[in-house]
Amino acid sequence: MGFFKRLFGICQTASPADDGCWNFENGKIEIQLDRAPEIKNQGGAIRLEGNGSPERVLVIHGRDGQFHAYKNRCTHAGRRIDPFEENESLRCCSISKSTFDYDGSVISGSAKKPLTPFKVEQDAGKLTVSVV
């Protein structure tokens, strides 16, 4: 990611191409996996915002083969986070480059507090993320 994108906090992870692949209801986000090809393969990620959700959420298909979801807000400066492709971690999109592991714990950078992970369940072609 380039310096100016980091300076302005522009993340690399896009919203899903099919905005109808997910919905928020009763404190949970449901994602239809067949409509979210961005997270089909390990290393894939989508950024979920709006649709009534009280939180910005990052969902990743981790390099560990598991799905993970986080409050998409770095604990240092509040910028969004992205998967860090070189290893099993996440990185803030700002110039501080705070880095976190899949549990949300701080690995390096300016952040002092861990990310907020959300519980993810997979069943019958869908993911359910509990955000409240």
Mean pLDDT for all residues in the chain: 89
Q: How far is CA 1 from the centre of its chain?
A: 17
Question: Domains (ranges, CATH) in the chain?
Answer: 3-130 (2.102.10.10)
pLDDT of res. 79:
84
How far is it, in rounded angstroms, from Cα 27 to Cα 7?
33
Indicate if the pLDDT at residue 76 is higher than 70: yes
Q: What is the tens place of the pLDDT at every residue in 7-21?
A: 656 678 889 999 999
At residue 83, the pLDDT reads 85
**Per-residue pLDDT for 89 more than 90?**
no
pLDDT digits 0-9 by tens, 91-120: 886 666 789 999 999 999 899 999 999 999
